[in-house]
Every structure is written in structure tokens, then in C-alpha cells.
Structure 1
């Protein structure tokens, strides 16, 4: 399976590194174009390719959106993401760096409106990039990454990737309620928890 990572900032680049280390193939795209990705490709080796956003959306079996929230609307070709697992790893902040008021909706519900037909899963958005880089291989209990969505099979696919990265996959529920738990302002955002701690918290 080829994972397309849209956005190669600190978090996107970190995800690419640990995916490749776990034996996955990746195709990378950013707003500046594939010519800017030479150093990262040299680091990652033959398991990584660079592409435009449209090319990455076409080539990948699964896509991860890791761009600023406001830039995601219309970024991906509608036909390319239809029936494809799309991980929303973005966070909606206001201009002041505070959680945005979305009128009671989860940010992922809004992303689902932008990309009808995509198999949307909220995941990989709650952990700081430095924690993401090293926690999956650290000794001790595995930390949790979460999945929220309305497509159970899509969540299973994302859970498999999370386990490959060395983390525990914890299902927070549907896209609405589970997404709200994970997004900025929610109780699971930027709060490293072990699988047992996360499961206990969600079951309350």
C-alpha cells in the first residue's frame, strides 16, 4: 500500500520517516512542488517519491492531509479521493492559535463535506511531532493514536497503520463525537496517554 502524505512540514516529514522505517512506501506532496523535496527524498531513499498534490492523490492507496486547515478545501481532486481512505490529520485553529468555533461540529465533518465520497477518518492529529518521532520505538507501554469515523473498515485500515508505527490504535467513535474528542479543545488533544489510559478515559 502506498500512503500519500499531503503536507511535508514538521509533522508530515516526521510521519514519512516513521512510515518508511516501518516498511511502508510513501508519496509526498506539498504546496511548493516536488522540486522542493529533494533533501527529504534523499533521506528516505527508494521507498519515497515526490509528486504534485494531484499526482499524489492519484497514486496513493490512502491519503493523509497534514496541511493548514483552511488550505485543504478544494486541494485534492474530487475524483481521486472518492472511495479512498482519507485521514484528516489537521487541526482547526483560529488566527490567535485557539481552537476554532465550529458551531458544535467536528472539523472532520467539515472536511467530509469538502470531499464527499471519501472514506474519512480523523487520526494522527493529537500528538506533537517530537513525540510522534520517538514514542513508537520507546520502551514501555505504547501510547495511543486515535481513530474516529463512520466507516468501520476504513478505521480498521488506519488502525493497522497506527500499529505498524508502534502505537496503540484506540477508536473514539463516530466522526462527530469522536472527532470532537480529538480536535483542539477536546480532552484527548496533545495529551499523551497509554492505550489503557485512553481506553479507560473514553469508557467513562
Structure 2
């Protein structure tokens, strides 16, 4: 039985943990606040889930979901995720992360930067373009005709194949969105971010957390990525 390590127990990390347990996977979860802070979540998830240190979440896992603030990635132990399939949800939010000159200048993408920080990991960008509360609402069985599609990107073809298989087990189909240089197409404010999963894409920003999702097929995701123009993140205030 495979084990999924999850580093970060926020909304997205917790949502993915629930999907993993529901798909008969063991889960080891870690966060920056320590094992005791995870007691309630582990009790909810049941006997297939356990809390651990970040080292335990990485060492015991067949693959790792990384869902922590962008700048916290740099504080992970050196080599922690070397040799691991890593599904990273990171996005750049200056109000939280501070200004990062490389990203503001557009000389690299968030995913390229994180992949560099995680030297030796088999890095895949995934789950970063969908709201956490929409994840459980859009999950479907493998044979469902209304499965939603998540874009994934990596510079490693085999890592993408393995990540796709994992995500499909969790309840979504996937679309190969290319290399990490192209991940701007499904980062915040882009055409491939969040609103493609809404029943009403014109929903105001202040109502997104109560918005109703709609199943989103591959052709709709691909059209959004193809139409995307790169956002000037230096102007991002949120």
C-alpha cells in the first residue's frame, strides 16, 4: 500500500490528505507547528494517517505533497526531498512571502525557483491552481464522465507520469502543461487559475470562498492555458 507524505497541513494539504485516505493510501503529515498540533486532523483521518516530523513525512513516503508558504521551502533541511517525487502547490504572494526579485523581474517562474531550492527532487507543479474547498467537491471516481482535470508541469517526463498516476488515484484527471517555464499559465491571476473551476467564472474575488465549482474537462483547461498571457507579478499586491 503506497504512502503519501504531506508537508503542510493547511487547507490544501489537509484536503489532499483526505483524498489519499479515501483512495486507500497511508498518509504521514508534518507541519511547522509540531505533531501535537495535528492531533485533531489525524483523528478525523483515521488509522491510515499519522503525524510526523518533516523528515518522517519525507523518508516514509513514495511521493510527497509540498504545501507550505513559498519562502518556507528554503528552510527545509538540505536534501530532505532528494530522490522523491514532489507535488508542489506553491504560489507567490508578496504580502505573505515578501518581494522576491527574480520573480518580480520575470526571469524565472515560481516553480523553477522552488525546483532549484529542492535540488535533487523529482519536482512536479500540481494542485496550485484550484481552491482548497473545491478539491473535495470536484473529486470523482475513475470512470466518472464528469471528472475534472488538473494541469501538471515538470522538467522530468517520468516524474509527470508518476504524478499523473497519483493524482488520478486521488480523483482527478491530469493535463500535461509542459515544463516549469510554462507554469505561469496556471498561477494566480492567470487564465488557468481557479476560475476555470467555477460554475460562474465572473464571481467577484470576495466571493470566491463561497463559490460553486463546476466539473472542468481537459479541453476547457487546455483552452485556458493556451489563451493565458503572463502576469506581471511585480504588480501583484495580494
Say whether the 8 Å CA contact 1:106–1:183 is kept in structure 2: no
Q: Secondary structure, in 3 states, of the residue corresponding to 1:26?
A: strand
Using the alignment, how far apart are the partners of 2:37 and 2:166 within structure 1?
A: 27
Using the alignment, how far apart are the partners of 2:225 and 2:29 within structure 1?
A: 33
Q: Secondary structure, in 3 states, of the residue corresponding to 1:169?
A: strand
Q: Secondary structure, in 3 states, of the residue corresponding to 2:50?
A: strand
Using the alignment, how far apart are the partners of 1:51 and 1:135 within structure 2?
A: 29
Using the alignment, how far apart are the partners of 2:217 and 2:178 within structure 1?
A: 18
1:162 corresponding residue in structure 2: 167
Q: After the TM superposition, which residues 2-13 of structure 1 pair with which residues of structure 2 at under 5 Å, given as runs?
A: 2-13=3-14
- The correspondence for 2:157, drawn from 135, 147, 152, is 152
1:185 corresponding residue in structure 2: 189
Query: TM-score, normalised on structure 1?
Result: 0.90
Deviations 1:6-49 (CA, angstroms, capped at 9, x unpaired): 11011111110111111111110001111111111111111111
Using the alignment, how far apart are the partners of 2:91 and 2:177 within structure 1?
A: 17
Using the alignment, how far apart are the partners of 2:41 and 2:129 within structure 1?
A: 24
Say whether the 8 Å CA contact 1:63–1:85 is kept in structure 2: yes
1:106 corresponding residue in structure 2: 109
Q: Which runs of 4+ in 1 moved over 4 A?
A: 96-101
2:118 corresponding residue in structure 1: 115
Query: TM-score, normalised on structure 2?
Result: 0.78
Query: Alignment length, in residue pairs?
Result: 202
1:50 corresponding residue in structure 2: 51
Using the alignment, how far apart are the partners of 1:194 and 1:49 within structure 2?
A: 34
Q: Secondary structure, in 3 states, of the residue corresponding to 2:65?
A: strand
Say whether the 8 Å CA contact 1:57–1:77 is kept in structure 2: no
Structure 2: runs of 5 or more not aligned: 198-215, 228-238
Superposed displacement of residue 127, structure 1: 0.7
Superposed displacement of residue 77, structure 1: 3.8
Deviations 1:104-154 (CA, angstroms, capped at 9, x unpaired): 211011111111111110001111111102111397622111110011111
Say whether the 8 Å CA contact 1:89–1:124 is kept in structure 2: yes
Q: After the TM superposition, which residues 36-115 of structure 1 pair with which residues of structure 2 at under 5 Å, given as runs?
A: 36-78=37-79, 80-95=80-95, 102=103, 103-104=105-106, 105-115=108-118
Q: If you compute each CA radius of gyration, which structure gives the higher value, 1 or 2?
A: 2
Superposed displacement of residue 100, structure 1: 7.0
Q: CA RMSD in A?
A: 2.2
